[in-house]
Amino acid sequence: MTRLSGPVAVLGLGTMGSGLATRLLDQGVQVRVWNRTAERTGPLARAGAFAAAHPADAVEGTSAAICTVADGEALGAVLRGPDGILTGGPYPGALVCASTVAPEEVVSLAGNMQSVLDVGMLGNREHARTGELRLFVGGEKRVFTAGRPLLDLLGKEVVHLGELGSGMRMKLLLNLLMGIEVQALAEAVELAAATGLDRKLVLSTIAGSGFASPVMSFKSKRLAAGRFDKPDFRLRLMAKDLMLAADQAAEAGLRLPLAAAAAETHIRATEQGFGDEDCVAVAHALTPNPGSHT
C-alpha cells in the first residue's frame, strides 16, 4: 500500500469527490471532507472521515487538498472566499484542482502558489471509488513527482502533460468528444422514433455495433429506460464544459462547428430545466415536447 505523508482533504462531494474520498478511506488514508451542502458529508463521516465546517478547517494539518467543486466560481470561493483554503496564507501542502474549469482560471486562481496540480479525470463514480480513473495532470514536474503517490492511489493511469492548465485542456477535449457522441446518439434515436422504428431495438443495435464507443453503449441503456435521474455527469456541467471548449477554440482561432452545435443544444436543454439530470437528457432539447423519452 502506498503511504502518504499526512491526511488528505477532499473539498466538494459530488459524484467524483465522494468517490475519491471513499477510495482514500478504503486505502487507510486519513481524510477530511467539506461540502457546501453539509449533509453530503454524513456517509463519509460515518465511514471515518472528519467533516469540516469550512474549507480552511478541512485542510488543517493535511499534506494535500483535492478540489472537486462544480465550476470556476465555486473553486474561487473554496480557495479565496471567506474561510477559504488560502485566506490565512499559502497552503503548505499539494493543491490538486480536479474541478473542470478554464485552464487560464486554474493558473489565475493558483496565483503564486508553488505546489499546484490541475488534474483532468477520465472515468465515472465507480472508477473513482475503485482507483480505476485515468488522470491527466498539469503542473511543474517536481510538484507532479511529489504528488505521484497520491495520484497513484486514485488512478490506474497517471500522465503528466506539462505546465499548469494542461490537465484542464485535456479534460475539455475529452468532454467535448463525449458531449458530441452522446448528442449524436440521442439524435439518431429521435430520428428513428420519428420515422417509425422501435426506439429500444435501435438502441440495442447501435450499442452492439462497431459505431458505438463505450460511452454510447453505456448511455444507450439510460435512453432505453428513459431514466435520467441519479446522474453520472450532470447536463449543466456538460453544457459548461462545452462552452469552455468553445472558448478555447475561439482563442486559438479555430472554428469547431460540431462543438458549437453541441454547446447550443446542451444549453437549451439546461434552460428547459433538465440541467441536474444525466447529460444524456440532452435528448429533451431535440423534440417539440420535452420530457417524452420513454
**214-272 per-position pLDDT tens digit:** 999 999 999 999 999 999 999 999 999 999 999 999 999 999 999 999 999 999 999 99
The whole-number pLDDT of residue 1 equals: 43
Confidence of residue 111 (pLDDT cuts 50, 70, 90): confident
CA-to-CA separations, 34 to 93, 201, 254, in angstroms, rounded? 17, 44, 39
Can you read off the three cell numbers belonging to residue 72? 470556476
Q: Is a pLDDT exceeding 50 seen at residue 201?
A: yes
Q: Is 161 helix (H, G, I), strand (E, B) or coil?
A: strand
Q: What is the pLDDT of residue 110?
A: 87
C-alpha cell of residue 82: 471567506
What is the average per-residue pLDDT within 171-189?
96
Q: Is the pLDDT of residue 185 over 90?
A: yes
Whole-number pLDDT of residue 237: 95
Could you say which architecture CATH assigns to the domain 170-286? Answer: Orthogonal Bundle (1.10)
Long-range contacts of 29-34 (CB under 8 A, 24+ apart): 29/4, 29/153, 30/6, 31/7, 32/7, 32/8, 32/57, 32/58, 32/59, 32/60, 32/61, 32/62, 33/9, 33/58, 34/9, 34/10, 34/58
pLDDT at 2 over 90: no
DSSP SS3 for 138? strand
CA 46, 231, 246, 139 dihedral sign is: positive
Percent of the chain beyond pLDDT 90?
A: 90
Residue 292 confidence (pLDDT): 57
Task: Note the pLDDT tens digit of each residue in 142-159.
Answer: 999 999 999 999 999 999
**8, 62 in Cβ contact below 8 A?**
yes
User: Which pLDDT does position 88 carry in this prediction?
Assistant: 85
Domain at 8-163: CATH architecture: 3-Layer(aba) Sandwich (3.40)
What are the pLDDT digits (tens) for 63-90? 999 999 999 999 999 999 999 999 888 9
Instruction: Show me where the domains of the chain are located.
Output: 8-163, 170-286
Between residues 61 and 2, which one has the greater pLDDT? 61
**Which one, of 238, 291, 226, lies nearest residue 266 by Cα?**
238
Q: What pLDDT, on a 0 to 100 scale, did the predictor assign at position 291?
A: 59
Confidence of residue 290 (pLDDT cuts 50, 70, 90): low
Q: Map residue 181 onto helix, strand or coil.
A: helix
SS (H, E, C) 84-123: CCCCCCCCCCEEEECCCCCHHHHHHHHCCCCCEEEEEEEC
Q: Which three cell numbers stand for residue 123?
A: 472515468
pLDDT for 278 beyond 60:
yes
